Structure 1
Amino acid sequence: METLDTPTRSTSSSRRRLVTALLAGVTAVGIAAGGTAIATNSSSEAQAGAAAAAGKRSNLNEGFVTTRDGVDIFYKDWGPHDGRPVVFSHGWPLNSDSWESQMMHLADNGYRVIAHDRRGHGQSSQTWEGNDMDHYADDLATVITKLKLRDVTLVGFSTGGGEVARYVGRHGTDRIAQVALVGAVTPLMLKTPDNPNGVPIDVFDGLREGSLTDRSQLYRDLAEGPFFGANRPDAEVSQGMKDTFWLQSMQAGHKAAHDSIKAFSETDLTEDLKRFDVPTLIIHGGDDQVVPIENSAHEAHEIVADSTLKVYPDGPHGITDTHKQQLNNDLLTFVNSL
């Protein structure tokens, strides 16, 4: 009988406590500077007591599952647990927090929403090996299996779209009812003789060099430039949005984030897309400078038979933030369509 793994003590937990402490320090600085803050009670006993008073288990909305190769994968599990599940896979080099707007919206509308931190990212184990699409897909399968999910809507953004495609390629759609690919890297980003419209390898070599030289600055440059389209005339991208991208990116393990560049750029997902046999929604920004639409969404739409392509004409890569309400509504309409 399958059992749900409970949260484990690991280096992931230590990192989480460290981030909590750092954020507490930031809050204290803000108060000293005349800012305002919301008082919180971080006591685990108080949290457990509040959960007990509400008649709920204190660990119901988050936890860890452990993969066959011993990697602890953190997940968050929101919304009514009798709701139909929607599972989210995040982009590089972010984590499950990047889905918070979409998760809140769907949970508020009766769906059970689950998002995990990819291996090497966020609160999951900082892996040295296995940072590739096959392992990403198998880790996603572990989450789905151990949480005993069925009739799932899978939603993947950017690298997460590749992870979702490889999941279908390796594990099929027995547990899957729908798929949504958002700004996804499918079918293949890299320019090759068979993919002449792809992105030249020099671009990805530049990302690797930037990652090794000063990855903190690399992430700032991405946020200030192409990711949110902040380099476009009249673009309005908040400082908070850019800061959040940097913060999540720096929570990824250095080795895992570096390896993932190869995974998302060089993995050919064409055959995986051919295995899609469920309704599929493809959403992409028409002004995506990171994953150009011509070589991704348009081609994926041609490959996946039962697919609908929706283009946000002025949308950059990071439409989960810049176009969050439009995306929230489109995803809700899609999951409601079953």
Structure 2
Amino acid sequence: MGYYINVEPGVNVYVEDINPTGGKTIFFLHGWPANHKMFEYQFNQLPQLGYRCIGMDMRGFGNSDKPWTGYSYDRLADDVRSVVEALKLQNITLGGHSTGGAVAIRYMARHKGYGVAKLALFAAAAPSLIKRPYFPYGLDKEVVLSIIRGTYDDRPKMLREFGDMFFFQYVTQPFAEWFFQLGLQAAGWSTAAVANTWLGEEGLFSDLGRINVPTLIMHGIHDQVVPFPLAEVQKEGIKNSILIPFEYSGHGLFYDEKDKFNRELALFVG
């Protein structure tokens, strides 16, 4: 079941609600530059176990509206709050991949975990995707600047190169093409705007300590996009958290080891 939810005047986001009459709810936030369809292999399996799965396309991506502005972590977290309120969600597990994980963390801090009973982070881009003078982990700033330049100069080429480093396990050419098309569904300006948000000074350092629900951290040890040490920093900063390394995964652990991913997530949700 798919529908649009208004998050601010003139801006609607697309939400897919799978097994809406199911039991416990898992709300998935996708990573950059894809959309909710990246969780296809979770949506195929978890509803069979009785879960209700909700996938939201963040503004600027997938089927959602693509306004010129509104790509800060604060605004994206506020969009999530609008969906939680519109669907009257309670006691959910909020799960986020990569940038979606960063938005989930900001949501927990900014909205005091409204409606959320548990948090699940999948290769989350937090507390900072880039290295900083006081933070030696993450990507070099120049890598992100190159992504932004590539978005403006030749977005398909940039997306193709990003896809080539996304997975650790072998993926077929048809699968790689499908994943590539997910990125093309975004607007170029929103693709660049979110990348600019990674460079912002806000970061998520103070947010980690404000999370007070059980938290599952899953992260591929071969991740070339969000290096594994960031998961260890998350584990140190979030009370009542557990870290599960994925030994045969890169950034796309939801597909590289999809059976383990689905199993561990289901065990955590309960």
TM-score range, shorter chain: over 0.9
Q: How far has the Cα of 1:154 moved from its partner?
A: 0.4
Match of 1:86 among 11, 26, 31: 26
In the alignment, what sits opposite 1:299? 233
The answer to whether the Cα contact below 8 Å between 2:248 and 2:256 also exists between their aligned partners in 1 is: no
In the alignment, what sits opposite 2:203? 268
The answer to whether the Cα contact below 8 Å between 2:22 and 2:47 also exists between their aligned partners in 1 is: no
Percent identity of paired positions between Structure 1 and Structure 2: 34
Q: Distance in 2 between matches of 1:306 and 1:316?
A: 25
Structure 2 letter corresponding to 1:172: K
Which string of whole-angstrom CA distances, capped at 9 and with x for unpartnered residues, describes residues 24-73 of structure 1?
A: xxxxxxxxxxxxxxxxxxxxxxxxxxxxxxxxxxxxx1101001243110
In the alignment, what sits opposite 1:170? 110
Please show how residues 20-169 of structure 1 align to structure 2 within 5 Å.
61-169=1-109
Relative to its length, the structure with more strand (as a share) is 2
The answer to whether the Cα contact below 8 Å between 1:219 and 1:245 also exists between their aligned partners in 2 is: no
The answer to whether the Cα contact below 8 Å between 1:165 and 1:272 also exists between their aligned partners in 2 is: yes
Which string of whole-angstrom CA distances, capped at 9 and with x for unpartnered residues, describes residues 279-323 of structure 1?
A: 1000000010110011x1000000001000000123100111221
Count of matched residue pairs = 269
In the alignment, what sits opposite 1:38? none
After superposing on structure 2, the runs of 4+ consecutive aligned residues of structure 1 that deviate more than 6 Å are none
User: Compared with structure 1, are the counterparts of its residues 292 and 70 closer, same or farther at alpha carbon in structure 2 (3 Å cutoff)?
Assistant: same
SS in 2 for 1:65: strand
Q: Distance in 2 between matches of 1:109 and 1:86?
A: 12
**5+ long unaligned stretches in structure 2:** none
In the alignment, what sits opposite 1:249? 183
Structure 1 letter corresponding to 2:144: F
Q: How far has the Cα of 1:80 moved from its partner?
A: 4.1
Q: Tell me whether 1:320 sits opposite 2:254 in the alignment.
A: yes
Q: How far has the Cα of 1:264 moved from its partner?
A: 3.4
The answer to whether the Cα contact below 8 Å between 2:128 and 2:203 also exists between their aligned partners in 1 is: yes
Please show how residues 182-221 of structure 1 align to structure 2 within 5 Å.
182-221=122-161
Q: Distance in 2 between matches of 1:329 and 1:92?
A: 24
Q: Distance in 1 between matches of 2:182 and 2:138?
A: 28
Q: How far has the Cα of 1:209 moved from its partner?
A: 1.0
Which string of whole-angstrom CA distances, capped at 9 and with x for unpartnered residues, describes residues 174-205 of structure 1?
A: 41110000010011122111113332211111
Q: Based on CA coordinates, which of the two structures has the bigger radius of gyration?
A: 1
Question: Normalization by structure 2: what TM-score?
Answer: 0.96
Structure showing greater relative contact order (alpha-carbon pairs closer than 8 Å, 6 or more residues apart): 2
Q: How far has the Cα of 1:103 moved from its partner?
A: 2.1
Q: Distance in 2 between matches of 1:193 and 1:159?
A: 22
Structure 2 letter corresponding to 1:261: A
In the alignment, what sits opposite 1:335? 269
Question: Normalization by structure 1: what TM-score?
Answer: 0.77
Q: Tell me whether 1:279 sits opposite 2:219 in the alignment.
A: no
**5+ long unaligned stretches in structure 1:** 1-60, 230-234
Q: Distance in 2 between matches of 1:271 and 1:104?
A: 36
Q: How far has the Cα of 1:104 moved from its partner?
A: 2.5
SS in 1 for 2:8: coil
